Each structure stands twice: as structure tokens, then as C-alpha cells.
Copies of this chain bind each other. A is one copy, B any other.
Amino acid sequence: MTASRPAGQHTVRRHNRALVLRTVAADEPVSRARIAAGTGLTRGTVSSLVAELLAAGLVAELAVARGATGRPASPLQLNRSGPGGLGVEIGVDAVGACVVDLTGAVRAQRVAASGHRTRPVADGLRAAAGLAAEVVGEAGLPVAGVGLAVPGVVADGVLERAPNLPSWRDVDVVARAAAVLAPVVGGAPVSVGNEADLAALAEHRAGAAGDDFLYVSGGVGVGAGIVLGGRLFGGSGGRAGELGHVVVDPTGPLCTCGGRGCLERAAGLEDLCRAAVVDDLDALADAATRHEPTAEAALRAGGHALGVALAGAVNLLDVPTVVLGGGYPRLGAVLRAAVVDELARRVVWRSPVAVRTSALGAVAALRGAATSVVRGVLDG
């Protein structure tokens, strides 16, 4: 048993400054008086903390208005010209970059095809940096930091393994991305996260899924981001959510991870396309829209496998909601129905599990990477 330190005063000012900033974010436009009423802080404390936030460029004062008492009210809001977040995604077959402002609004965004399976890490970073320069130029905001999304297992800032990018192994992506992006963002700090985790955070910000859900990202790989109590659940080392390598058929086909019968081999987009005898996601989505029988059979089988793995995850994690994201939202009702069916049959408790479809689709991870920077700023 470890004794913690006593409650002290030294973190109180910082805590209260973050509290004021979050109150502005939640209730903008809002007066100093309303902030004081809402937080329980004195008006003097609020004024002093607001002065700091104005000086840091985080909040802005709107034109002076007359309050109910006739005194000036000067409502505050987040500064739309204040520091923004740069999101960068390096996927298996694409790169993207995006800038959001302090409110989370997208100010510039680009996605481009760029295959990385057989190319070195440096090529992926260079392609991403090119897009980053474009979006930063277009957005015209100072960059507070960079969030990088990658399709692999991330722990302590290191990309340990990306089964679909075999040469990306134990890569210190934070340091490498910081070096490549320095001409674009100067010394702004870089953080890295698993793409499904960052997509789940974007889904959380979008709000429809609530504070407790499992987001599953359907791509070449299948990953999950788990949100519990409104926060990303990382497990003990930050690697949680490798749903793609949960086994759905112990004697099934070999997987890129070295295992056998992983979900990814049954419900990854490439395997679904192969089963549906189509070339790519566009063709698969088109075939699903036309109710083409081979495609529907493939989606049904993939959906049942996905449902089996998701039921296991729900039984282990106790989450009330599952969000189908990545490429899955484009694949129609058949896949979703199979997921719903397996969850109803296999989840132990009786409350039904809600199955939602992500509204953000393929750009969710990119959006989450950018907004994670802004959340860091707002959390002080």
C-alpha cells in the first residue's frame, strides 16, 4: 500500500484555470459573472484567471454588451484565432492531415492515397509532412501541437508493431515525426496514438455514442478504441483494443500477426472484398447497395464474425454501445444486422447492446488526432 501526498494548495490555481477554460468551452459565450456562479470561484479569482487566458490567446472577449444590471458584461468565448491542433494520419494505403481550431472546428483537411506496406517509414512521414504543410498554410493558425495516428500498437510513444506495415517495428515515431515536421510546425510537441483510439475520441466528441462505447475501425486491419467514462481506455500499457486479433475461428486462416483465425482475416476490408470478389471498398459498397448476392453473403459472414468478437469484447468490458466505424458505415445493413444478431445471442446480461454507425467514417482518426491536441490545451 502506498501513501499518497496530502491535499495541498500548489495545484489549485492551475486546476482552477483549467476549470475556467473548460467552462468557457462548454458554455460560450459566457460572462465572468456566470463563470463565477457556475464554478463557485470568487469573481476576483475568475477575473485574474481570465486575464491569463486572454494573454495566452486561448479565449477572446466579444464586443462589450450591457448586462441586466446595466454594467458591461464582456462575454468570453474560445479564441477562433488561437492555437490549433494539427492531426496527421499515416495509414496502410493513405495519408491525411487536418487542422482544427480550439473549438474543434475543421479549418483545413487533405487526404491522399499513398501505399506504405512495402515502403520504409521515412516515405510515409515525408508524404504526411507534405500534406501537413498544405493544411497548416491554409488554416493560418499557430500550431499548438501535432497528433499522429498510426495503424498499429503504440506504447509510450513508440510504434511497437503494425501487422500490416511489417517494416514499421519498434519505431520511435514521435521523434521521427518531430524531425520531419519541424519545418512546418517548429518545435510544437508531437504525440502519437493508435488510429482506432483516436477515431474513438473523435466519435466521443461528436457525442452520439455517449461516454461508454467500443468503436471498431474497419480497414485493412480491424482495431478498436474503447471509451469508458468519457476517457480512452488504454489498459495497463496503452495498447488495449486489438480487437482484430481476437480469435473467431481457432482453425481459421493465418493472420499477418502470426496467429490463426483472427477477426481481421474474417472482417478486414481486404478479406471482405476478396470474399465478395470485388477489387476495393468502393466496389464492395456499390455491390452492397445493389444487393449483389455474393457481396451480401460475404458481408453477412463477416458481420457474424465481427459480432462474435464484439460479443466477447462486450462480455469482457461491459460497454453498452458499439460503434461501427472506418469503412464499415459504407457497407449497408446486412453487416450491421449480423452484428446485432450475434450480440443479442451472446452477451450475458439482458440489456441490449446498442449498435451505432459512425458519422465520421474514414476521417475519424485524423479528426481525433487533431482534436486530441486541442483537448490537451483545454485540459491545461
Task: Give the B-binding residues of A (Cβ under 8 A).
Answer: 1-8, 11-12, 15-16, 19, 22-23, 25-27, 38-41, 153, 155, 160-161, 163, 211-212, 224, 226, 228-229, 234-243, 245-250, 257-260, 262, 304-305, 308-309, 311-313, 315-320, 345-350, 378
Contact = CB atoms under 8 A, between A and B. Distances in A.
Contacts of A1: 22, 25-26, 378
19 contacts: A1-B22, A1-B26, A2-B26, A3-B23, A6-B39, A7-B16, A8-B40, A161-B350, A234-B318, A235-B319, A237-B318, A237-B320, A245-B311, A245-B315, A245-B347, A247-B312, A248-B250, A259-B311, A313-B316
B243 A316 contact: yes
Given A239-B318, A245-B315, 7 more contacts: A1-B22, A6-B40, A7-B15, A240-B316, A241-B316, A248-B250, A250-B305
Given A15-B6, A312-B312, A318 B246 contact: no
A58 to B, nearest CB: 15
Contacts of A350: 160-161
A297 to B, nearest CB: 17
A334 B329 CA distance: 44
Contacts of A318: 234-240, 242
Contact of A235 (B26, B228, B245): B228
Contact of A38 (B3, B153, B160): B3
